[in-house]
Amino acid sequence: MDEVDRNRLEEFRQLRQEVRHSEEYLIVGIDIAKDRHHAFLGTATGKTLLRRLVFSNDHEGFRKLLDQAEALRAQHGLKKVVYGMEPTANYHKPLGEYLITLGRTVVLVSGVTVKRNRESLDGRWDKHDTKDAANVADLISQGKCLYYEYPSAELRGLRGLLSLKRRLKKQEHGYKVRIRNHLIAQYFPEMDRDYERLGTVGLSIVRWCFPASQITELDVEPFIQRVTSRRIRVETRRRLEEVWEKAGASIGCEGVPGMEHEAKVMVEGLRQIREVIKETEDKIQQLCEQFPEYPYVLTIPGFGPDVSAKVLGAIGDPNRFQNGKQVLKMGGLDLSADRSGKDSDKAIPEISKRGKADLRYALYQAALIASVKNRDFMIYYTNKLRGREREKGIHVKMRVKLAAKLLVIAWTLMKKKEKFNPAYLNAE
């Protein structure tokens, strides 16, 4: 963390401590939109200075906001100005970056908190831009705001590529489901059990030999030559011969006009998506190697390039967290329970799931692999299970707990720039 970021973080922590009932702050609450933003300007003591300011999402509009804020600050003798906004898609980022580069204090408010606090303003349930801007300002005046992280260009690039990869994976899954549950299930259902084992050859069958009636028009050797472009293993040849035999007795539907085009589009689309995913993964790997913390995260058992990249992108600068509890909250792995009423003592804590679902899934997979492949993790996992083996769902619970520990260990290694040591498993 450089000096500028360190100062911003200290200013934010000081703001949260002193803003409530302070007479020094001008609070600017901004409701973010795509084309025009709405701002509310007031004091931390609840005084309204300007109820509604609409400004465009361009340089002229940003200058309008700054000039108005500076004028009100000077007129009312206020010393500090803090700008706050709710993160809405990516629309807030240009304004946030613009204000930060000019040295202004910028904070975020949680969308969940905004929704819950809206009714408390006037006891009504309606929603509009002017009220939302006042809602944001009200939360900031209570100190209920979040640090506006402004990471390095490399980290922003890594997060962008991780988001792109996540979307590409969804598209890949869509193509796979369409091929298997629509084309194969309709025109050659007997091939379904062999499809995954055939791999790329299975895709070639769908591309060049669908429906099953086309396979029966060929002898076995021409069929194999048509769906393969190089020498194949004996096991693959045996499976292709079985597919050829099943085609002769298939109950699949007859082909319809346009089916061959659909098969072509689905198969070629899936192949293209996989090529793009591979290129994206290579670019992610190149970016990760620019971070000095990356080699240390890779030393954790169960952490491969994919998990390490997701953890690195989620944590970012490890120094922005004061303790492990904050890291767990970021990942949604912190424990929470509804402890009210007569049954409060019986409440069973569960993870909040408020953070990044993709990160939690990756950490769970890492915990699963480490608890099976690594001796130190196997011993730790077994000790946690001892005496609770028959408890329902205990294996999943313990692996989630291990995933949470892995996240804290990764944060510790990034902060200290140390390689993994099994002693971290027993640290509390």
Mean pLDDT confidence for 67-91: 92
- Specify the higher pLDDT residue, 211 or 170: 170
Residue 125 has pLDDT above 70, yes or no: no
Torsion angle of the four alpha carbons 54, 60, 62, 63, in this order, in degrees rounded to the nearest 10? -110
pLDDT of residue 290: 93
The ranges assigned to domains in the chain are 3-150, 157-284, 294-426
Mean pLDDT rounded to a whole number for the chain: 90
Mean pLDDT confidence for 280-292: 95
pLDDT of residue 378: 93
User: What is the CATH topology of the domain spanning 3-150?
Assistant: Nucleotidyltransferase; domain 5 (3.30.420)
Reported confidence tier of residue 193, pLDDT bands at 50, 70, 90: confident
Cα 2 to the center of its chain, rounded Å: 26
Give residue-wise pLDDT tens across range 410-422. 999 999 999 999 8
Reported confidence tier of residue 117, pLDDT bands at 50, 70, 90: confident
pLDDT of residue 404: 94
Q: Rounded distance, CA 316 to CA 2, Å?
A: 13
For 105, phi then psi, to 5°, come to -85, 120
pLDDT of residue 342: 65
CATH number for the domain running over 157-284: 1.10.287.4070
Q: Rounded distance, CA 162 to CA 307, Å?
A: 11
Please, where are the H alpha helices in 211-351? 212-216, 220-227, 234-248, 259-288, 294-298, 305-315, 324-331
What are the Cα distances from residue 22, in Å, to 70, 141, 243, 392?
18, 8, 77, 52
pLDDT of residue 338: 65
Give residue-wise pLDDT tens across range 304-363. 999 999 999 999 989 889 899 999 999 998 887 666 666 666 667 788 888 888 999 999
Q: Is 225 left (phi over 0), alpha (psi -120 to 50) or beta?
A: alpha
pLDDT of residue 343: 66
- Specify the higher pLDDT residue, 130 or 209: 209
Torsion angle of the four alpha carbons 285, 291, 296, 302, in this order, in degrees rounded to the nearest 10? -30
Residue 225 has pLDDT above 80, yes or no: yes
Q: Rounded distance, CA 135 to CA 148, Å?
A: 18
Lowest mean pLDDT among 68-72, 121-125, 319-323: 121-125
Give residue-wise pLDDT tens across range 372-400. 999 999 999 999 888 888 888 899 999 99
Give the chain's length.
428
DSSP-assigned states of every residue in 332-372: T--EE----STTGGGPPPEE---S-HHHHHHHHHHHHHHHH
pLDDT of residue 340: 65
Mean pLDDT confidence for 171-180: 95
Residue 264 has pLDDT above 70, yes or no: yes
Q: Please give the DSSP secondary-structure letter assigned to residue 261.
A: H
pLDDT of residue 164: 96
Reported confidence tier of residue 1, pLDDT bands at 50, 70, 90: low
Share of the chain above pLDDT 90, in %: 64
pLDDT of residue 156: 92
